[in-house]
Amino acid sequence: MRGWSDRVSSFRPASWVLARVISGRATRPGHTSHGRGLHHFFVGMCERMSYACAFARSRAVLSFARNAFRGLTLVAVSVSTVASQIPGDPDPQVLSSCLTDSLEVRLESRLEDGPRQLLGGFEPIARRSDGRLFVRFFEGPAVVRWFDPSTGASGDIGREGQGPGEYLWPAAILIDETERATRIIDSRQRRLVSFDWDGEWLGQSTLPVAPFIRGVWPLAGGHLLVNGRTSTPDWVGHNILQVHEGEVVATFDTSHGLFRADWAAAGQRRALVLSDDPAALDFLVGHRREYRIDRFRQSGGPVETFVREADWFRPWTRYGLPDPDWVPPPFLVDLVEVEGGLIAAVVNRPRANWREGVEFSDDGSKRIADHARTYEAIIEVIDLENSCVRAEGRAPLHIDATLRDGTLAGLRLDDIGRPSLEFWSIRLLPRGG
């Protein structure tokens, strides 16, 4: 569902341009305007919807933006000064299929007849150990909602705004079980807002980075790993950074082997922290449009790159719903940790009968109306030490996000269009188990 065309990869996407123009914001992120709601809508949907953003990046729309808003310095801002050619791994390791184990993929629980806002999509999402769920809907105000599945109770945590304890664009929700705190990362204001277990405001701090959606991972000692945009130059540095007490203490960019990506694709990177010790950081980065995993270590050394060459993961060669040959592209959703030092890659791929979830119009345009009927999730358990896929399984719906404990979350519609939120668990079994 999410992702953009790779055309014109060294420029700002036209979808970003239009969102900034419509919202009246011709300056860097964080600038306040009266068009905040429209900006939220366009940028939020463009961080999530491949078909809308691919269309927005077509030459016609880009030309329209240039001609209609010639006086604004928004179009085609080159990022070539930020990212150099990728050194990467000169010899990436190809992940083969050894399939020595089985994978159990099971429906764990379901939030029946969920809030109607689910129809507009959701991200980010988090869950406490007591089962309380926190989610931000893209439909309606930019407010994080909480749900208690055991009692049916629900409410808001914090509120939209620029005052103390308020936020404008929740990019991540972090649950701190030790401190019994919920932390909301506000990308627009570069703000980390903390609440206690009962939802009362504790305080806030400023981040040196504007994180992407689901682009923050907690480390030990109060450190954070952030996939985001840096302010120099001109908010177009798309790096992964280690942050502590409001300062960037380490940067992972293309000169360190980070895969070069445009503004859109950079926002879809997903990390998995294997060691959260800030002095011995070890983490993986998965890339949405390529079945590619890079491994970084704080101790240095070459970046390890792993690629999966699967027939069902086609390269992104067609973009945009107006294309008559368009098919829903597969994409990497996330990486999760599995027992025994293994990881799992969660990939959404189109079903054989994907047309059942897509609406076709007479003018040739298409709209994905039901992602659960368009996509299915493929989960592959990977042994990086031996460069092979140990097990594979399937969840019969589009997976939207994962929780910190490795649970998969996806939206499903019933026969009359009522949404429910499903949670799926995975468990590795010995072959034949």
What's the rounded mean pLDDT across residues 180-208? Answer: 95
305 - beta bridge partners? Answer: 294
94 - beta bridge partners? Answer: 307
In order of start, what are the domains of the chain with their CATH numbers?
Answer: 14-430 (2.120.10.30)
State if pTM tops 0.85: no
Number of CB atoms found within 10 A of residue 232's CB: 8
Find the helix packing angle between 59-68 and 14-22, rounded to 10°.
40
Q: How confident is the model at residue 105, as a pLDDT? A: 97
**Where residue 112 falls among pLDDT bands split at 50, 70, 90?**
confident
- Per the CB < 8 A criterion, the answer to whether 133 and 146 are in contact is yes
Nearest to 296 by CA among 249, 334, 255: 255
Percent of the chain at pLDDT > 90 equals: 45
Query: Is a pLDDT exceeding 60 seen at residue 327?
Result: yes
Report d(CA 292, CA 303) in Å as an integer: 12
Q: E strands along 207-341, which residues?
A: 209-218, 224-230, 237-244, 247-252, 270-275, 282-287, 292-297, 304-307, 331-338
Mean pLDDT of the chain: 76
What DSSP string describes 346-403? EEEEE-TTGGGGEEE-TTS-EEE--HHHHEEEEEEEEETTTTEEEEEEEESS-EEEE-
